[in-house]
Structures are given as C-alpha cells and as structure tokens.
Structure 1
C-alpha cells in the first residue's frame, strides 16, 4: 500500500472530489513510473481519472490518505484506485481511471500471407497503447528472426507472439548430417530428411549409410541429432 498526500483545502469538514481525483492521479503517476523503472521499459503514459459524482460526501480525513491499485495488477488500461481514510471518521472510495501506456512495438509493414517467412523488411516499430494489446506484442524486430506467420497479416497490424511460429529449416528431401552424441562417442553420418522440420522438432530421417529410417531432432539448417 502506498501513501500519497494531496493538498487542497477541504470545505465544511468534507473531502471534495477534487482531492480524490488529485490523489488518484498522483498515485497512478508514481505507479507507472515505478513500473517502467522496474522493467527497464521505455515508454510514456497518459492518465485520465474519471469524474466523480459531485454529490459525494466524505468526511475530512485527519490522517494522510492511503492509496493502492485495486485492479488490475499492473497500472495499464482501465484501472481502479482504492483511496482510504483511516482517521477518526474512516471511509473508503474506489476511483476509476484510464492509463494509456505507449511503447514502440513491432507492426507489419506490408501484407503477409499465412506461412510466410518474416524478414526485417516486413516489419517496423510504431508507438501503440500496449494496454489495449490483449494478444501481446513484440518490442524488438530481432524477435522475428527464423519465424513465419501463423495467419494472414495486414499492414500496420501489431505483431503478437501468437502470429508467429518457428520456420522450418529442413525440408523433405534435404540432405542432412545426422549427429549421434553421448559422453563417449560423437558419430556423424549422412542422411535424408523425410519431412519438414523447425529447430527443436523431431522428424523422420533416412540414414543413407544403413538405409534405416530413424527419428532425429532438428538442430539447424542441414543438421539433425539423434537423442541418446
């Protein structure tokens, strides 16, 4: 829980809505700055606290008001700030607000078909309110390396992790090197891929020396490894 004071003269022993709004704004500014610093994040924010009912009547608090983020866990999007008075006339009020947090994220530069490999020329960085990006986002164009699209994408569309999957680096019919590693041996032999595969995937490979079909894990272009 965080304690933040807001100086504004109360009238007739009451706490005006302006005090609550100022307190919520100050708390959210502090919370966003702390969130950015904790994650070493570059961004800018816009905070808008909703208007409160001017008929709201709360006793003037003889202690410093305490504030905390009621929901959600991070100060982004639609948030609710709980403001509490623990004085002789205690009260609690919940103040809704909107926090827009703008960051540079990866967006698509041109139309991409499903299954297309993605290169640097296909993306760029653009500022977006990340609080509205429920599907997630990427902040570094190097995160697209070795990836392909899982669906068709349009220009200016924010690229989310679910839009990407590892691209195959081995294709059916490719000549590959089969490695068999253990603490005692390191055997390499020629093989032929019998299916496509991305790094980390297990595929069927024909050992060209013995003619046997085995399962091997794709390590990189033209490289597979037998698990031992």
Structure 2
C-alpha cells in the first residue's frame, strides 16, 4: 500500500510543474539580468539572489513548452522585485515569484557624528560595503566626490551619505574682497570687487566693481576669484 502511494505521488509529480522548477527558472533569469545590468551600467559589486520557497501545495500542469521569465514592472534588477514565470503551451498559466537581489558595493559613510555645515574630509568618511538595493535615498561610491563638500544636515556615525545630504562648499562668501576677471579672447582685465552673495565653485554670484560701483554677475572660478565673460 505504501509502495503504491509513493508510486502515485511520483506519477503526479511527473505530470506537474514543481515549485522548485519555478524557483530555478526565476533564479537563472535574475542571474542573467544582474550580470547584464552590471556590465551595461559599469557597476562593480558582488550580488546575491534570494528567492523564498513557494507554497509546496502549488499544483500546475506540466508545460509542453519551455518556461519563460520576465521581470514584473520596470527598473533595475536590484532590491525587492517579482519575476513572472509563464507557460505558453497548450495549457497556459502564469506564476509570480517574489525575489530580492542584494547588490553589495563600497559606499561612503561617516566615521563619526558631524554637525550641519561641517566640511567633509578624508578623516571623517570611509568606504564600507553595504547592500545598495536597500538605499532608497541613493549613495555615493567615490570619496573624492564627497571631500570638500558641506553637510546640509547633522549626521550620526556610520551614516551613509546620500547626494541630497551634501552641497558644494562656498569658496566665496558675501562681503569677501575678490578679483574680477573680465576676458574676451586673449585679453584679460582684472579689477577689485566685493562679493554681494556667497557661492561655490562654478556658481554665479553678484559682485560689485569697486572702481565703477557697477554690480555684475560673475562665475566663481577659485577662492577669491570670479569671472565675467564679455
């Protein structure tokens, strides 16, 4: 009787698509998608694919065609997502397989608490591996792009620095004496001026020419130096 029961179970399984097959198809699809994403986005990092076990009571007819898979929705294949596994055979069916792809990269984090308006330097940040699929506010992976900027908000130690936390440091402050460079072609005229607003590198600020008392807009090119294009 026991042998007969086991035989029946095997016959039923041979005519069904097992949950383990669905997981295998989803995993293979995600592995290919992640590898493609890393190459096309020029992204470095290690990844892990996690697919939870499906309901063992799931009963689907054996598909007479090769199963197909696609990512549900749009976006990168990182984080929580759903894989649509489909049979397009004579008895079609579709199953949605939940999964999570962990992508681990080195990201910039603080090494100690920092106050608002603090300047970031190499002594207070470091690169630490984190799962970037969970970083909904974004992240930065290059220390050189962070150092020299100032914080818009107070942060704690081991805080992942999102781009929205930072702003370019002001190299010219309102009231500073500056040199105004006005050029056209190979000619360059310089004069003394006063900054009427603060600015970071590349920003435009209002500057007063101390000789003519004329107020102009100039681009910050270095600490104490602004440029007016004629």
Partner residue in 1 for 2:103: 101
Higher helix share: 2
Partner residue in 1 for 2:5: none
Task: From the CA coordinates, give the structure whose radius of gyration is larger.
Answer: 2
Distance 1:73 1:203 in 2: 39
Kindly provide the CA deviation profile for residues 63-105 of structure 1, in whole angstroms up to 9, marking residues without a partner as x: 1111111135211111100111111211111100111111110
Distance 1:216 1:28 in 2: 51
**What's the TM-score, normalizing by structure 2?**
0.88
- Closer, same or farther: CA 227–67 of 1 in aligned 2, 3 Å: same
Partner residue in 2 for 1:181: 183
Partner residue in 2 for 1:200: 202
Q: Residue 63 of structure 2 aligns to a residue in which SS?
A: coil
Structure 2, unaligned runs of 5 or more? 1-10
Distance 2:68 2:14 in 1: 22
**What's the TM-score, normalizing by structure 1?**
0.89
Partner residue in 2 for 1:42: 44
Distance 1:157 1:136 in 2: 12
Write the mapping of 1:22-33 to structure 2, written as runs, cut at 5 A: 22-33=24-35
Distance 1:83 1:10 in 2: 21
C-alpha RMSD of the superposition: 1.9
* Deviating more after overlay: 168-177 vs 114-123: 168-177
- Closer, same or farther: CA 17–150 of 1 in aligned 2, 3 Å: same
Runs (4+) of structure 1 moved beyond 6 Å? none
Number of residue pairs the alignment of both structures matches: 220
- Closer, same or farther: CA 68–92 of 1 in aligned 2, 3 Å: same
Cα deviation for residue 216 of structure 1 reads: 2.1
- 1:226 matched to 2:228: yes
Partner residue in 2 for 1:61: 63
Distance 1:156 1:149 in 2: 15
